[in-house]
Amino acid sequence: MKRAGLLLLAVAPVATVAVYLLGGDSDSDAAGADRRGSGTQRPYDKDKSAAEIKADDELIADLPPGLAAPAKKDLAQQLIASAENSTLDWRGQYGYIEDIDDDHGYTAGIIGFCTGTHDLLTLVERYT
């Protein structure tokens, strides 16, 4: 049961990020996007001109999709580091390794790979 609880803590942030990135707005379904003209103002753009909206749309179209977008990747990494290591400094967690006395051996890295569950071994083997 303890292991299932730890698994839930590891999966919950990833699921949250997936819902955030893939879910989108409930107001912006694909059919709604097709009905909207390029010069039409959306409800959240009430104070913007058509030229400003078009410029925003072009900027967004040029950005990489999903987690390839630097801001989205950084947000996702911060969510994971917050859940795993109680910090938003995810870059500082690469060198993290500690025995946290949870009967899973040493825990390492941003995600918390463990030696006792052999997922750290699998990671190292696949990396090398």
pLDDT tens-digit map of 88-127:
888 888 888 888 888 888 988 888 888 898 898 898 899 8
The alpha helices in the chain, defined as continuous H runs, are: 2-23, 30-35, 50-62, 70-85, 119-127
List the structure tokens of 39: 């010069």
What pLDDT sits at residue 26? 47
Q: Give the whole-angstrom CA distance, residue 6 versus residue 113.
A: 12
DSSP-assigned letter for residue 64: P
